[in-house]
Amino acid sequence: MGASVINCKFSSNLLYYQDECNVILPSLAKPEDLKVLYLLHGIHGTCHDWITYTNIVRLAENYRVAVVCPNAKNSFYADMRYGEPFYTYLTTEFMEYVQRTFGFSSRRKDNLIAGLSMGGYGALKIAFNNPDKFCIVGSFSGVLDMANIKGFVTGDEQTDRKNIQLFISIFGEDPVLAGTDNDLISLIQRNKTVNGYSVKDLLVYQYCGTSDFLYLHNMSFKKCAEEAKLNLKYATDGGAHDWERWDEQIALFLQEYFG
């Protein structure tokens, strides 16, 4: 037998529309006994991406881990200035829905979160602001230096112009993110603590390839994490910003903590 993929559609009070997610359940498993990995998509992505482009279904079965893939549009997992409150939705209503529906554990030691690109940032932001809810967090090619978001360029003029408009819809016309709860480096430096758990209690996995246009963003984060003595596992190779690397990395991430 293999893992089951369950697509759920449900009405959200916070988003004011019917949302969906995908949940991967290992075979012959009691949901309350499973570790649960919330796996976040990147920009222009959906809850279907990880299932479509990687071997996550097979990995979930092999490692006996439940996987939950939500939607967050192009929100950078924030409560958008001109849009939906995705951060609040995912950390409250969505997690409560998933845990209630499937009987998953809400205990910190049973919950992980990870993501790619925009989702790598989102996973770290959610975990760093809620270190009492998660024990492990992973970022694959994440956008990790949000205080310097004006330096976020892909090299494609049309894409970069669209991203400027996107960031306005998320953070406002002239946002100052440094020192806020949207700034990962600030969260590390403040050692944000919630219910007795801080960012230093998290196991943190970071990957970025040296050919990735986000490599310098990742180096800024890595330097800060190492200076603060976070429990950081850093991985790199010559890779770019692509699914081939993320497929490899999700397997290495699960092997690191469950192998």
Q: What is the pLDDT of residues 41-83, one digit of tens each?
A: 999 999 999 999 999 999 999 999 999 999 999 999 999 999 9
pLDDT at 165 over 90: no
Domain count, the chain: 1
Mean pLDDT of 131-154: 86
222-240 pLDDT per residue, tens = 999 999 999 999 999 999 9
Give the CATH number for residue 20: 3.40.50.1820
Range of the domain at 224: 4-258
Secondary structure E strands in the chain: 4-12, 17-25, 35-40, 65-69, 111-116, 136-140, 193-194, 197-198, 203-207, 231-235
pLDDT digits (tens, 9 = 90+) for 191-234: 999 999 999 999 999 999 999 999 988 999 999 999 999 999 99
Please state, for a pLDDT cut of 90, what percent of the chain lies above it: 85
